Amino acid sequence: MQINSDISQRVTIQQATLPWIATHLAGVKIRTLEGGGEAVARATAIVKLSPGAKIVSCTRDLGEEIMVLDGVLTDEFGSYGKGSYVKAGNVTNRPGSSHACESASGCLLFVKRGHLEADDDSRIVVDSGSMPWYQGLVDGLTVMPLSEFGTQHTALVRWAPGTLFNPHRHYGGEEIYVLDGVFEDEYGRYTAGSWIRSPHMSAHCPYSIEGCTIFVKTGHLLQDEVAA
């Protein structure tokens, strides 16, 4: 079953309101935000691994991006703690190839699969706890770039309390996951755990009264929207 697969529609979900769905893998549960679940290449989900759980021989067509929300994730390349961003492109995980990951202590992940461009062969690992933040376009806004390829840009953005951003339009779409605090715009108020997907050429005027940190991905909805 496809969930929120029409990328021309704006979607907001508080992931904590969704039920955990057991997968066929022992100790692995999922909350699907978009896509058809674990069997479909293109998907966005919150994934929970219980202590000792393993995911073996995962196909990663068009790559994968992971933000570790809690705990420690381990794969054949290393271990990644809370706040780590891991991107595996199409050379690291070629279309149809597989790899394995596990968590000895358990972990919670924000996962995007099948959203990268076909010729993106990059592998990127960022420990956000040890990387610098850069001044954003307005006072109170700081940015930590994570990945950039073609039209796609992925970053962490930190909003100081009382920060107001400029009204802007999303060329290629925008996707936000609120990591902490409260993010707002003229359409609503989004607490930690909220996921917002805004389509190609949508617009808003965001701000944060309390302050927040968000995961932001832009430009990845352009190709599908233009082709539709």
Please tell me the predicted confidence (pLDDT) of residue 97.
53
Element containing residue 223 per DSSP (H, E): helix 222-227
Domains of the chain (ranges, CATH numbers): 12-127 (2.60.120.10), 134-227 (2.60.120.10)
* Structure tokens belonging to residue 49: 């691994």
Please tell me the predicted confidence (pLDDT) of residue 58.
55
CA distance 211 to 219: 25
The pLDDT tens digits for 56-93 are 755 556 789 999 999 999 998 999 999 999 998 775 55
Whether 3 has a pLDDT exceeding 70, the answer reads yes
Could you tell me the pLDDT band of residue 33, with boundaries at 50, 70 and 90? very high
Q: Is the pTM of this model over 0.85?
A: yes
Please tell me the predicted confidence (pLDDT) of residue 42.
80
Cβ atoms 86, 125 nearer than 8 A: yes
Tell me what the mean pLDDT of segment 131-136 comes to: 98
CB within 8 A of 168, min separation 6: which ones? 203, 204, 205
Could you tell me the pLDDT band of residue 227, with boundaries at 50, 70 and 90? very low
CA distance 62 to 121: 9
